[in-house]
Chains A and B, each alone.
Chain A
């Protein structure tokens, strides 16, 4: 992965830049010794590491604004970072960029039960929102698997999902308002406790923009009342095709489960070894369906789902009859990644989405790719929404295996797009999938996205080298091609 060539002239001025930074924020908010910056040299895509120019940990939004203003004027790049749990390298530092850490923004500012929302600083963890409101029966719905550590500001930047987004949506569907700071150092408030502001939905476009458009300095999140009952089914199938079809049958019957997960044979056995969850070891595919809502409703829907699964050819069905049992069903799924980590020295986690009906085709494709590359793959899916998490097993100590695993992964993502899907369902593009963007998008698609970037950050100073395989200067992107010889900007003739 090639990152933009660092600007040596910036690196040469590192001492004076650090001195200046200490005038913009309290001196102890600037971290610049190589040893102490080590903690910030990577996010959860830890194959990529880089020490930043300096780390700044501001304490107020005004400090962020001052910092951004100065960096803009001085032409210094900025990489924002929440908790550093990105799986795609979204917070990977650059040698010539200030790493802007939001870790000190860790307070919940307001819990407003009457309007069913929480106002929080961006460094608060995802799970802390639920902890703050659960005594009153509320919770925050998006539940990325890193929820114990990931920050809500990072959730906005990545538009994080989770196992329950089939029914409850991603971050973007649960976000009411943000305060953000632009690269120009302007503090903007978008949305709030009201709905649908009636302007351009800039909050919507900030969500999932991977830190390229602005720095989130406050969030207003929608909270929901916890469902009265949650029950789950654990369903085994002897072939993945029938399992894939069963998932579609549930939805076609008008049932939207809170979550619907699927695992293949390798993942089932790894998880079972790890968690002893009672998974059917001989099954080719396992589906976990969770239903939530009023008890009478869940009890009826559980029966309906069971009937659908049996009709689709399920080889085993277990239904949870207690919270303990439900948690046990999930224990295997939730530990799938570490469980796979036990059976292989290393693994790569992919994140494409496909139309659900293509699942059987995808399984066939994956097993032929697995043979081609000589690497095993364990599959964990958010089956309800077609989001795949193939885990490619490899050993980084074997020469060439990492490269082979990466090529395998790229082929899987290519297949996703070919089958009508997309490169990333929830982990983001970051640096990891940056160079694959042209599989899904035309040059014109990408240029239009970058024009939007230019509206927010005309000098490409904010998190450059992420998401887009090629950086075009804003002046170049803004050029117009007008035909009929009447061009107001006669750069390149159109015809």
Chain B
């Protein structure tokens, strides 16, 4: 396989134009930290964007940053931290699951629409992409959005590009909305008799004006490994609720929530360390098995887990108030059963994140799309990449 390093969009266009003429399929890659996500396809050519780095413009008081696609997240994080700002959706680092190192690039983060625990309350990567420039699979330069926060001019292609896994166009000059980092944070740790009780307790806490920013649920065994107080019953769970803001506010909200739910608190350092583990899925010690990411309505999560536990030996924990479940198991057919169970509930999806062997040959890593949605996806793909040159097949067959 050929590797081509590109340093700007003009060079990207040349590579795409050549690939169109030769009908060659191109893999788009920067650091490769998320290369294991999605379907495994073979490509004629790998286009390496990791030389396209740098912050083009950062105006903290405008809450806007414009970056080259291959800028490493470490560099992005450092620049933002200096201005006490952040990407509020919390960029996760899945290198632990993929046995890779490095937290990737901003281009990869946008292309995969990966978000962390705060996604529950502040939105996903897709909510923070304001604009971009790109080369389509037609070898044409186009831009969408802008460098301002409020903009409804033309179709919101930023949404479409986020999470499209590089299958539509190659992006550069990515503009994101930033937000001030919270001054401090803490967590409230509360026990619940089981998963269902935990979800319902969290619903109660969110029905108050005390503004939790995230909420996770750890089964007793994982809670114990994470160094949290040991739970009492077999089915018991530990709820972790995060509060962020200025110190006086957090103290006040913590008191109020504790009055409602009991439990004890974790101060900032321990709380931050725990949320980093939740965000990066490091609560699973050393994953040797497949890891699935399931998104569903929070109140569906307990019955989903119960159904699955009936037939499979699993390890799991939940984020997003129950709406995101991380599940690992060496059991066969877990993916099939997850998707079947989701279909009986109010919807959702199961994504194979870590494939410890050859699971993706037996089940599509992305949840299959029903016609006519699949047909529409194909038409959208063709609108940007009619010869299926860019990362073709990464998400679904032909897409």
Contacts and interface: CB of A to CB of B under 8 A. Distances in A.
Interface of A: 112-116, 136-138, 158-159, 161, 165-166, 169-170, 172-173, 182, 184, 186, 188-189, 192-205, 207-209, 213, 225-228, 248-249, 251-252, 254-256, 293-297, 300-301, 353-357, 382, 385-387, 420-429, 433, 437, 440-442, 444-449, 451-456, 467, 478, 480-488, 494
Given A226-B209, A448-B384, A483 B21 contact: yes
A413 to B, nearest CB: 10
Contacts of A137: 207-209
B377 A451 contact: no
B127 interface: yes
Q: What are the 3 closest A-B residue pairs judged by CB atoms, nearest first?
A: A204-B159, A297-B249, A193-B297
A480 B210 CA distance: 55
B373 A455 contact: no
Given A200-B163, A483-B17, A451 B179 contact: no
Contacts of B246: 297, 300-301
A198 B159 contact: no
Contact of B20 (A189, A356, A444, A480): A480
Contacts of B156: 159, 172, 204-205, 207-209
Contacts of A202: 160, 376-377, 380
A452 B160 contact: yes
Contacts of B22: 484, 486
Contact of A444 (B124, B142, B203, B299): B142
A448 B136 contact: yes
A452 B380 contact: yes
A232 to B, nearest CB: 18
A467 B154 contact: yes
B82 to A, nearest CB: 13
Interface of B: 17-18, 20-23, 59-64, 84, 113, 115, 119-120, 123-124, 126-127, 136, 138-144, 146-160, 162-164, 168, 179-181, 183, 199-200, 203, 206-211, 245-246, 248-249, 252-253, 295-300, 320, 323-324, 346-349, 351, 366-367, 369, 372-373, 376-377, 379-380, 382-384, 386-387, 395
B24 to A, nearest CB: 11
B177 to A, nearest CB: 10
B155 A209 contact: yes
B376 A455 contact: yes
B21 A356 contact: no
A225 B146 CA distance: 31
Contacts of B383: 448, 451-452, 454-455
B363 to A, nearest CB: 14
A423 B153 contact: yes
A385 B61 CA distance: 11
Q: Which of B59, B143, B380 has the most CB of A within 10 A?
A: B380
B151 A353 contact: yes
A420 B147 contact: yes
Given A188-B373, A208-B152, A196 B113 contact: yes
B351 A114 contact: no
Contacts of A207: 156, 159
Given A453-B155, A488-B23, 12 more contacts: A159-B152, A192-B347, A194-B323, A227-B211, A297-B252, A353-B148, A354-B148, A426-B150, A428-B152, A448-B144, A485-B21, A494-B17
A421 B146 contact: yes
Contacts of A445: 142-144, 154
A455 B190 CA distance: 49
12 contacts: A196-B124, A196-B163, A202-B376, A294-B249, A356-B62, A357-B59, A357-B61, A425-B148, A448-B383, A482-B21, A483-B17, A494-B17
B143 A225 contact: no
A451 B384 contact: yes
Contacts of A426: 150, 152
Given A196-B119, A254-B181, A116 B206 contact: yes
A196 B115 contact: yes
A441 B127 contact: no
B241 to A, nearest CB: 14
Contact of B150 (A198, A225, A387): A387
A194 B298 CA distance: 8
Contacts of B300: 193
Contacts of B139: 481-482
A266 B136 CA distance: 47
A477 to B, nearest CB: 8
Contacts of A114: 199-200, 203, 298-299
Contacts of B253: 294
A118 B346 CA distance: 14
A34 to B, nearest CB: 33
A442 B133 CA distance: 12
Q: Which of A200, A202, A449, A482 has the most CB of B within 10 A?
A: A200
A134 to B, nearest CB: 13
A113 B206 CA distance: 9
A199 B154 contact: no
Given A188-B376, A200-B164, A488-B387, A355 B64 contact: yes
A485 B298 CA distance: 55
A57 to B, nearest CB: 26
Contacts of B181: 254
B209 A294 contact: yes
A184 B371 CA distance: 13
Q: Which of A113, A114, A437 has the most CB of B within 10 A?
A: A114
A267 B240 CA distance: 49
A356 B61 contact: yes
Nearest to B168: A200
A161 B127 contact: no
Contacts of B180: 251, 254-256
A467 B152 CA distance: 11
Nearest to B210: A294
A297 B296 contact: no
B147 A355 contact: yes
Given A198-B366, A478-B386, A487 B127 contact: no
Nearest to A474: B383
B300 to A, nearest CB: 8
Given A169-B127, A480-B138, A205 B155 contact: yes
